[in-house]
Structure 1
Amino acid sequence: MPAPKLREGITPEGLNALGVGHLPAWFGVEAVGLAPGRLSARMLIRPEMLGPDGFLHAAALIALADSAAGYATRAHLPEGAAGFSTIEMKTNFFGTQTEGVLLCEATAVHGDRHTQVWDAEVSSGGCGSRLALFRCTQMILWPKGH
């Protein structure tokens, strides 16, 4: 399946600006790279992202992966689409860390007029080890009457 088409004029900086005042910016998610069928993001771990056990809370990883997949979907929306909504997310966790930077690479698996599916792999910014793998399904929303 060919990757969904990257929309002209979309940049990581523009996507980051959309997150200001919303959950992605609150968590510190930052899109850092964009190419056809791909989006790279990062997030610095802060102490309040740890669970009571002292390890990274799963919700922090989910916030990074869902934001990366969401930004990727927005950057690849079909012409005329009004937006999108996450309709399913599956997660596998493989490890954790307590400080440093998390990296996320979202890669297109499927894209058409109705849905997009993205794999989002979260890894440690220090050693590159994979911490989690997500599969996000996005429903494409269209204006009424379209």
Structure 2
Amino acid sequence: MSALRPDVTIEVLHERQRGMLPELLGVRLVELAQGMLTGELAIRPQLLAPNGFLHAATVVGLADTCCGYACIAHLPEHAPNFTTLELKSNFLGTCRDGTIRAVATAVHLGRSTHIWDASVFDQSGRTIALFRCTQMLLAK
């Protein structure tokens, strides 16, 4: 099982996202620990769909970013990077304002793949989405 890397911190991951999609979305990481990562973003009008509800891509962007950063933080020495093989989302609800939070948890931390799940919650704690992704670890 891959262990949390001491050289990958929340600050390192925030620096890594400068000028990239996670920064544009407003992803803010709040907790990083063995086998998990929590992030959040404040909903603003630009992140809504034309129907006035939270755009599905916003939810996926937060969940995928949290899972991806968690993967980075748990990469083994022989694999300095990764790429996504597959992702899936189930939407259980939506919201229009406030802050959403994603909690990514490790399902499988293997030598060549990682599988991460994320649950996305609205600010009242109600689950609005379930997300799963498979990451292929890229060897040196």
Does TM, normalized by the shorter one, top 0.5? yes
Question: Among the aligned pairs, what percent are the same residue?
Answer: 49
- Displacement of 1:82 after TM fit? 2.4
Aligned length: 140
Q: Partners in 1 of 2:125 and 2:58 — Cα distance?
A: 18
Question: Which residues in structure 2 correspond to 1:65-144 (within 5 Å)?
Answer: 65-125=63-123, 127-143=124-140
Which residue number in structure 2 is paired with residue 30 of structure 1? 28
Name the CA distance, whole Å, in 1 between partners of 2:112 and 2:86. Answer: 14
Deviation of the 1:113 alpha carbon: 1.2
TM-superposed deviation, 1:41: 0.4
Q: What is the DSSP-based 3-state SS (H/G/I as helix, E as strand, rest coil) of the residue aligned with 1:64?
A: helix
- Provide Cα deviations, 1:85-119, integer angstroms capped at 9, x if missing partner: 11100111000000110100000000111100000
**Is 2:11 the partner of 1:10?**
no
Cα distance in 2, alignment partners of residues 141 and 18 from structure 1: 18
The runs of 5 or more residues in structure 1 that have no matched partner are none
| Alignment TM-score, normalising by the size of structure 1 | 0.93
Structure 2 counterpart of 1:117, which letter?
Answer: I
Q: What TM-score, normalized to structure 2?
A: 0.97
Residue of structure 1 equivalent to 2:39: 41
Structure 1 Cα separation of the partners of residues 44 and 29 of structure 2: 18
Q: Deviations over 1:19-41 (max 9, x none)?
A: 01000001001111000000000
Displaced runs of 4 or more, over 3 A: none
Q: Secondary structure at the match of 1:70?
A: helix
